[in-house]
Amino acid sequence: MLNVGLFGYGYWGPNLVRNFNRGGRSRIKVVCDLNTDRLKRLVEDYPSVEGTNSVDRIINDPSIDAVAIATPVSTHCDLAMRALRAGKHVLVEKPIATTTSEALRMTDEADRQKRVLLVDHTFVYTGAVRKIKEAVDSGALGEIYYYDSVRVNLGLFQKDVDVLYDLAVHDLSILEYVLPNKPCAVSATGMASFSGGPENVAYLTLFFDNRCIAHMHVNWLAPVKIRRTLLGGSSKMIVYDDLEPSEKVKIYDKGVDVGDDPDGLYKIKVSYRTGDMWAPKVDTTEALQTLVSHFIDCAENGASPITGGREGLFVVRILEAAVESMRGRAVTVELQL
């Protein structure tokens, strides 16, 4: 039985409690939150779980084997470092930290302490994204030409991070998991619609050394919620719509074949290929349940997590570069990944 302490019982905390308290392999023992109303709700929802406003109550408890961190991003590094130094495994909400230097400190400390550091890149654990990775890894899509996503909704406005850190992090984690190549440069634009607030709409473009390009549109100020990704290859193409109740992933046997025309240097022959579309069956297990189970496995067996500190660091490095580009009005920033 893995005893877990949880920091934060706001938006995501209750989901973590629910998943850690199912299956009999782990349990949330103590929840820390500075908001007394949230702690009252905790007691109502889970009478057997202790609530506290003291960080030390969890850090200094030797019976707690691991902690989950679901607090504002600016607090992730400090809480994770304290937990790791106390010999506890750590599951931290996305993104892993606000800066590359913080993410590096956390990753290095986890290695030093020989403890698991898992970043909650939830979408990587969905059946849909894992099915997409299967298609890419099998070569069914051919050469990958582009990754194009739209992730927009009305709210939730965050206080300590902009829309890139809140929404683009999802697509960056999917991209890191699915695509075989890493980006070499980034360009981004964005705008804060309200004075004094963080950027709430942004467009991010990633460049690769091969012919692949990735583009992401994120927005907190959209009248509708959209979660749609296009993945185009030389052989087949994928449409992934996370809001679809079924058939979230659709694979299209469509594309363009381009051949050289021997009669002229500047003439090309273009033929359009239209075949079948099919929607493969995907695992419908809740992604967070899969993630929590994976975290427990890693903690028990000492295995490296799928979304560990290095994967979290990858995402933060791109986010930092994207913010730099955005502040420079889309100046291209080279990446060292």
pLDDT mean for each 10 residues of the chain (337 residues): 97 97 96 97 96 98 98 97 98 98 98 98 98 97 97 90 97 97 98 93 97 97 98 97 96 81 57 86 97 98 96 98 97 93
**Whole-model pTM over 0.85:** yes
**CB under 8 Å to 179, separation ≥6 — which residues?**
136, 144, 147, 212, 214
Task: Give the three-class secondary structure for 68.
Answer: strand
CATH homologous superfamily, domain 2-122+287-307:
NAD(P)-binding Rossmann-like Domain (3.40.50.720)
How far is residue 183's CA from residue 63's CA, in Å, rounded to a whole number? 43
Residue 276 exposed, middle or buried by CB count within 10 Å (0-12, 13-18, 19+): exposed
pLDDT number for residue 271:
73
How far is residue 156's CA from residue 158's CA, in Å, rounded to a whole number? 6
pLDDT number for residue 255:
79
pLDDT number for residue 157:
87
pLDDT number for residue 333:
98
Domain extent listing, the chain: 2-122+287-307, 124-283+318-334
**Protein fold of 124-283+318-334:** Dihydrodipicolinate Reductase; domain 2 (3.30.360)
Q: In terms of DSSP H, where are the helices of 86-126?
A: 100-113
pLDDT number for residue 277:
93
